[in-house]
Amino acid sequence: MSTNTGDIASPSGDAAERDVANAHKPFPKGRVAAWAVTLAIAAYFAWSVANNENFGWHVVGQYFFDPVVISGLYVSLGLTVVAMAFGIVLGLLLAVARLSKDGLASSLASLFIWFFRGTPLLVQLIFWYNLSTLFPTLSIGIPFGPTFVSWDTNSVISPMTAAIAGLALNEAAYMAEIIRGGLLSVDRGQFETAEAFGMTRARALRRIIIPQAMRSIVPPTGNQLISMIKATSLVSVIAMADLLYSVQSIYNRTFEVVPMLLVAVLWYLLITSVLNIGQSYIERYYSRSDRRTGTATKDDTPMLVPAQEAGQ
C-alpha cells in the first residue's frame, strides 16, 4: 500500500511561510487622537484660568507667604500631627480590644467606634467646643461619692483643646478599623506559632503580627493623614486660627474672597502632594518582601524546552 505524502499538509506550513521579521504593531490612531483632544482641552483650560483676571493671581502671589497665612498653616500642620498621633495610638488600642476575647473590652471598643464613625466630625467639634453648656465643671472623684479636684470647663476646653479632642477621637475610630483589618490579614497561624514559643500576646503583636500587618495598614493610613490635613479646615467654625480661618480673616478685611481661597487651596495641594510622595516611599519599604519573593519566583521558574529540541 502506497502513501501519498504530498497530499498531507504540514500543520506548521502556514506559519513557516509567514515572514514576521519585519512585523510591527499597528499605529494607535484612536489613542493618539484621545491624547490630542485631552491635551487641547487641558491647554485651553489652563490658558483660561491664567488669563482670567477674576482669579486675582497677583493677590494670590501677594498673600501666599503672608505671616498670617503661614501662622495658620503651622496651626493646621500641628493639629494634623497631634491628632494623628493620638488617633493612631488610641486606634491601635481599640483594634486590639475589638479583637480581644474579653467581651467587655470588645463591646466598649465597638461602641466607641460606632458612635464616633456614625456622627459627623463637624458636629463633634461643635459639641466639644460647647461642652460647658452640659457640664459647667469637670471633676475627678468617686462616682456618687466625694470629688477630689474640679475645674471650670471653659478654662479647660479651649478652641485648641476642642479641636484636638474632636479630630483625635474621630480619627481613632477610623484607625481602629484600619488596624483591625491589617491584623486580620495576618495568618492566624502566626499567633499560634508565637504562643508555641512562649511569647505573650503583647510581644507577639509587637514583634511578629504588627510588622507583617503594616503592608495592609500603611496605604489607608496615608489616606487618613491626607484627609486629616483637609479636615483641619473644619476647626475654623470654632474660631481656631487654622489655614482656612486665616485666609477668611484676610478676605473679610480685603473682600478678595476667591484669591484668598486659592491661597488656601494651593497650600493644601502642596502639602498633600508631599505626603503622597512620602506615602509611596513607605509603601515601597514595606513591600520589599513581596518584591524579593517575586524576583525569586521569576528566577526559579524552569525554562521550557522547545518540542523539537526535546525530541532530539
Q: 87 pLDDT band (50/70/90 cuts)?
A: very high
In our burial notation (b when 16+ CB lie closer than 10 A, e otherwise), range 69-97 reads beebbebbeebbeebbebbbebbbebbbb
Q: 289 pLDDT band (50/70/90 cuts)?
A: low
- Are the C-beta atoms of residues 60 and 261 closer than 8 Å to each other? no
Does residue 238 sit in helix, strand or coil?
helix
Dist. CA 86–CA 65, nearest whole Å: 30
- Are the C-beta atoms of residues 79 and 243 closer than 8 Å to each other? no
pLDDT 10s digits, 128-179: 999 988 888 888 888 877 888 888 888 888 899 999 999 999 999 999 999 9
Residue-wise DSSP of 57-116: HHHHHHHTT-HHHHHHHHHHHHHHHHHHHHHHHHHHHHHHHHHSS-HHHHHHHHHHHHHH
- pTM, to two decimals: 0.76
Q: Per-residue pLDDT for 14 more than 60?
A: no
pLDDT value for 299:
46
pLDDT value for 18:
63
Least confident residue range of 10-24, 132-146, 260-274: 10-24
Q: Per-residue pLDDT for 88 more than 80?
A: yes
In angstroms and rounded to an integer, the radius of gyration of the C-alpha atoms of the chain is 31
